[in-house]
Chain A
Amino acid sequence: MTGHSLGAIIRIRMIAPIFAPTCEPDMAIDATNAAIGDKIRCDACPVMCYIRPGAAGACDRYANQDGQLVRVDPHIVLERTVSHGGRLVPFQATGDWDGKIVHQPDIFVTAIGAGTTYPDYKPAPFIVSSEVDGVDMVTVVTEGIFSYCGVKVKIDTDRYLGPEAATVRAQGEAVGHVTTSEYGSQMLSLGGVHHLTGGSKKEGRVTCDTLMDLSNCKPVELVIDGGATVVVQAGHPPIVNGATEERMRVGCGSATIGMFAKQWHGKVDEVVVVDDHITGVLSEHQAGKLLDIADTGIKMKGRRSTPGRYFQVAKPGTGWGGTNISDPLSILGPFDVREARPGLTMLMVSTTGEHAGYYVLDDALRPIEKEMPPDLKLSVERIQENCEPALCTVLFMAGAGGSLRAGVTDNPVRLTRSVKDALTRVTSGGAPVYVWPGGGITFMVDVTQMPAGAFGYVPTPALVAPIEFTLKLADYAALGGHMDHVRPLSTLRENAEIRSAPATPGRRG
Chain B
Amino acid sequence: MRRTPQIAFLADGRRLHLQDGPIDLVVEASGKGADVRSAYDAAARRFTGLLDGLCAELAELRKAADPLHCCLNGVVARRMHAAVAPFAADCFITPMAAVAGSVAEEIMVAMQGAAQLRRAYVNNGGDIALHLEGSERFRVGLMDRPDRQGVMRTMTIDADDPSRGIATSGRHGRSFSLGIADAVTVLAGTASQADAAATIIANAVDLPGHPAVIRCPANSLQPDSDLGPRLVTRDVGGLTRDEISMALATGEAVARKLLAAGLIDGAALCLFGETVFVGMRRLQARHERLLELA
A contact residues vs B (CB 8 Å cutoff): 1, 4, 6-11, 30, 32-33, 36, 39, 44-52, 55, 57-60, 115, 117-118, 120, 145, 201-202, 205, 403, 456, 458-459
Of B7, B22, B55, B223, which one neighbours A33 at CB under 8 angstroms?
B223
Convert B122-134 into 0s and 1s, putting 1 for each residue whose CB lies closer than 8 angstroms to a CB of A.
0000000000000
Report whether B34 and A202 are in contact in the complex, using a CB–CB cutoff of 8 Å.
yes
Report whether B21 and A44 are in contact in the complex, using a CB–CB cutoff of 8 Å.
yes
User: Which residues in chain B, 1-48, are within 8 Å of chain A measured between CB atoms?
Assistant: 1-4, 6-8, 19-24, 34, 37-38, 40-41, 44, 48
* B237, chain A: closest CB distance, angstroms: 23
B contact residues vs A (CB 8 Å cutoff): 1-4, 6-8, 19-24, 34, 37-38, 40-41, 44, 48, 51-52, 55-56, 58, 174, 217, 219-224, 228-229
Inter-chain contacts of B40 with A (CB < 8 A): 459
A6 and B1 in contact, given A45-B21, A47-B58, A459-B44 (Cβ under 8 angstroms): yes
Report whether A458 and B22 are in contact in the complex, using a CB–CB cutoff of 8 Å.
no
User: B18's closest neighbor in chain A, by CB?
Assistant: A459
Q: List 21 A-B contacts (CB under 8 A).
A: A1-B48, A6-B4, A9-B4, A10-B6, A10-B19, A11-B8, A33-B220, A45-B3, A45-B20, A46-B55, A47-B51, A47-B58, A50-B224, A51-B223, A52-B221, A57-B22, A58-B22, A120-B1, A201-B37, A458-B7, A459-B44
Report whether A32 and B22 are in contact in the complex, using a CB–CB cutoff of 8 Å.
no
CA distance A11 to B7 in the complex (A): 10
Report whether B51 and A45 are in contact in the complex, using a CB–CB cutoff of 8 Å.
yes
10 interchain residue pairs of minimum CB distance: A45-B21, A46-B55, A58-B22, A50-B223, A59-B22, A7-B4, A118-B3, A459-B44, A32-B219, A9-B6
Of A52, A57, A403, which one neighbours B1 at CB under 8 angstroms?
A403
Tell me what chain A mostly uses at the interface: helix, strand, loop, or mixed: loop
CA distance A117 to B1 in the complex (A): 13
Report whether B1 and A47 are in contact in the complex, using a CB–CB cutoff of 8 Å.
no
Q: How many A-B residue pairs have CB under 8 A?
A: 94
User: A45's closest neighbor in chain B, by CB?
Assistant: B21
Tell me what chain B mostly uses at the interface: helix, strand, loop, or mixed: mixed
A7 and B3 in contact, given A32-B228, A46-B21 (Cβ under 8 angstroms): yes
A58 and B4 in contact, given A32-B229, A50-B224, A202-B34 (Cβ under 8 angstroms): no
Of A9, A30, A44, A202, which one neighbours B8 at CB under 8 angstroms?
A9
Report whether B174 and A145 are in contact in the complex, using a CB–CB cutoff of 8 Å.
no
Inter-chain contacts of B4 with A (CB < 8 A): 1, 6-9, 118, 145, 458
Report whether A47 and B38 are in contact in the complex, using a CB–CB cutoff of 8 Å.
no
